[in-house]
Amino acid sequence: MLIDEISFFDALKRAEAEDSKAHGIGTYGEKLLHKTLKYYFEPDESKHEIESYGSVADIRNEKEIIEIQTRSLSKLVPKLDRFLQKEQVTVVYPLIENKLICRINTETGESMPPRKSSKKGRLSTALAEISMIRQFVSHERLRVLVVTVDVIETRMMNEKKKIGRKRTAKINTVPTRINRIIELSCPEDYRQLLPTDLPQSFNATDFQNYTKLNRIESHGALMLLLQLGILTRSRKGSDAYIYSIN
C-alpha cells in the first residue's frame, strides 16, 4: 500500500496536540503511536472509540471497523469474535523497524547524544503475533495490515539510583515515519512475512534461527503457516518434523 506522508505528519501533529491537552506536555496516556495511527487511518475523530456490539472499537466508519493493537494480538480475540459476525474488520499491527533512543538525565536535565537501537524489527515477529488470532485469519471479513514504522524513544536516566528495577525508564515513543504497509487479505499474502533467506526445507530449530523468534513464538508462527497452507510438514525419525514451503 502507498504511504501518504502528508497524512502521517498531520496525524502525528493531531495526536501530539490531543495528548498534550489531555495529559500535559511531557506526559502520555494512550500510546502516541496508537493514537497517531488512529488519525492516519481515520482523520474524523468522531469515528474513534465507538461502542459496537458490546465492545469499544478503535475506529468504526461507514466501511469497516479498525482495531489497532501494538502487541499481544490475543487481546483482540473477544472483539473479533463479535465484530466479524457483523462487520468488515481491519486489524492494524504496528511493527517498530528502527528505533532511535534519546536519554535524559533526571538530575541534571541533560540530554545524552541519541543512539540507534541495535534491535531491528523483523516481519517474522508479525507472524508470531498474528498466530495469536489464527482462528480468524481465513475469515472473509478480516484483513490485517502490518505497518512498519521508525520511532524515537525517550528514556529518563539516573546513574546513581534505579528507576524501578532499571536505571532508565521509557517515557514516550514518537513515530517518525511509516516505512511500509503490508496488506494480508488472503493466505498467499503471508508469504511476504517469511525471511527471504529461509531455505525450501528446514526443521523447527532452523526456522527459529532464521526468524530470530523464541521457541514459543516460533511454534505459533509455524502453526499459522501450516494452517494457511504455505508450509507442509513431514516426520523425520521418531519425533522431528521437516517443514517445506509450498
Per-residue model confidence (pLDDT) at position 168: 56
Cβ-contact 245, 154 below 8 angstroms: no
Per-residue model confidence (pLDDT) at position 238: 66
pLDDT band at residue 117 using 50, 70 and 90 as cut-offs: confident
The amino acid present at 142, given as its one-letter code, is L
Distance CA 119, CA 8 (A): 24
Lowest mean pLDDT, pick from 35-39, 48-52, 161-165, 174-178: 161-165
Distance CA 110, CA 130 (A): 40
Strand order in the sheet with 201-202: 201-202, 240-245, 231-236
Digit-coded pLDDT (tens) for 153-193:
888 776 555 545 555 566 678 999 999 999 999 999 999 99
Cβ-contact 82, 88 below 8 angstroms: no
CATH no. for 194-246: 1.10.10.10
Report the DSSP pairing between strands 65-68 and 55-60: antiparallel
Model-level pTM greater than 0.75?
yes
Cα atoms in the Cβ-side hemisphere of radius 13 Å centred on 198: 26
Per-residue model confidence (pLDDT) at position 40: 98
**Res 17 pLDDT > 60:** yes
Cβ-contact 243, 202 below 8 angstroms: yes
Q: Mean per-residue pLDDT for 239-246?
A: 91
Distance CA 228, CA 137 (A): 8
Per-residue model confidence (pLDDT) at position 120: 85
- Which residue pairs, CB below 8 angstroms and at least 24 apart, start in 224-231? 224/127, 224/130, 224/131, 224/134, 224/137, 224/190, 225/127, 225/190, 225/194, 227/134, 227/137, 227/138, 228/137, 228/138, 228/187, 228/190, 229/187, 230/187, 230/188, 230/190, 230/191, 230/194
Sequence spans of domains, the chain: 5-186, 194-246
**Res 29 pLDDT > 50:** no
List CB contacts of 246: < 8 A, sequence separation 6 or more: 229, 230, 231, 232
